[in-house]
Chain A
Amino acid sequence: MNELDELRDLWREQGRSLDELREIEVATLAALKTERLGGSLRRWAWLPAFELAAGIVAQLWLVQFIEGVLGAPLLVASGIALFVAALVATMVAARQVFLAATVDPAGPVAEVQDRLEQLRTLRLWATRWTLLLSPLLWTPLALVLGRAMFGVDLQRAVGWPWLLANLAVGYAAIPLGLRALARASRRWGASAAWQRLREDVAGRSLARARRSLEEIAAFRKEPA
């Protein structure tokens, strides 16, 4: 008989002696009866749903804004840049909402894990690019908000040098930000949040999530 088969009985027998969790079981079942516990596999659903709604509102608003400034090319270009960013964010959020809404916790494990990893990959992709592109989108955002909220044309008010300097600072902010994050995580190395942010921005979390997806796909595939 094979080792694994021989060990089955012992494994099952040992399971009976793993009593340390029984107390948790009793306490949890008692708490559940009074509906005091929460949490869900769909815990990520609310954030993409909010992003989806915000993205749609932003796009509608930007279309109106662009229509109102058709005579000012720089404002139109800024509005279009923001519109494209909002469109991509909305599409990513819509995909996340769909994936989160269609996860059935009682579904086949490989399929559910595949969906959850797709969701995680999308989330990490969106986080990374939001963090990387936000310094570049700051200038068009300042132009658009300056006009929409205060009626100020920043291009005329502060001139091209300010706008170009802003854009240059935006570009420089990306490597500087990464370096600052690295330094901060070395200094506060114990903080999981810093580490996670650094890993997210550097793309390491995304790479791991993609490896997990590949691992799941390989598992589902018939071995050669």
Chain B
Amino acid sequence: MTVSGQETFVALVREHGRMLVQISHAYGWTEDERKDLHQEVLTQLWKAFPSYDLRRRFSTWMYRIALNVAISSSRRRREHLPLEDAAAAADPGEPRGSELEQRLRSLRQLVAGLPPLERALVLLYLDERSQKEIAEVLGITESNVSTRIHRIKQRLRDRMSVEGEGS
């Protein structure tokens, strides 16, 4: 890769680094796994960058590679964890914070318990990607995206109302 290509790559990755971190967090349960995954994602992006078409949207290209690497890597490491295990893995046992923080923790647990592809869909939605871009990244129709988001919202609402009753 040329020096200017390297600089462009580093700048683009820094711009979208937050989402890469979220992906590593969503697919790696332990700190070591997250670090390995983050490194693997960056490596694959780097290797693929020379074939990236600059006329296309970088974020779509980046999400596809990052999610493909993350899902494959998490499948290799272990099968989809049962919800309780995923929830435990996603909850580092921090002291309870504000109500909003508790709800965020519930959201993290819900995301961690989802199958890998639905997890990808929620991550993209939370990153405020349009339904069109989510559909492009995942390779499904926009109506499929819309229906699945609606159902996940419903699940989250149910989960939070149960937790609300329990507390």
Contact with A along B84-123 (1 / 0, CB 8 A): 0000000000000000110110010000000111101000
Chain A residues near B (Cβ < 8 Å) = 2-4, 6-8, 10-12, 14-16, 18, 20-22, 24-25, 28-29, 32-33, 37-41, 105-113, 116-117, 120, 208, 212, 215-216, 219-223
Q: With A18-B22, A38-B43, A216-B117 in contact, is A24–B127 under 8 Å at CB? A: no
Please state if A110 and B40 are interface contacts (CB–CB under 8 Å). Answer: no
Please state if A7 and B115 are interface contacts (CB–CB under 8 Å). Answer: no
Picked from B18, B19, B68, B136, the residue with its CB within 8 Å of the CB of A41 is: B68
Contact with A along B61-88 (1 / 0, CB 8 A): 1001101110110010001000000000
The total of Cβ contacts below 8 Å across the A-B interface reads: 157
Contact with A along B42-69 (1 / 0, CB 8 A): 1110111001100000000100110111
Please state if A4 and B156 are interface contacts (CB–CB under 8 Å). Answer: yes
- Residue contacts A-B, CB under 8 angstroms, 16 given: A4-B126, A4-B153, A7-B100, A7-B107, A7-B126, A12-B126, A15-B18, A21-B21, A22-B21, A29-B13, A108-B136, A109-B117, A113-B71, A113-B72, A113-B117, A215-B115
Majority-rule SS of A interface residues = helix
B35 an interface residue at 8 Å Cβ cutoff?
yes
Please state if B18 and A109 are interface contacts (CB–CB under 8 Å). Answer: no
Please state if B46 and A21 are interface contacts (CB–CB under 8 Å). Answer: no
Q: With A15-B18, A32-B43 in contact, is A109–B79 under 8 Å at CB? A: no
B29 an interface residue at 8 Å Cβ cutoff?
no
> Bound state CA distance, A207 and B103, in angstroms?
36
Please state if A25 and B136 are interface contacts (CB–CB under 8 Å). Answer: no
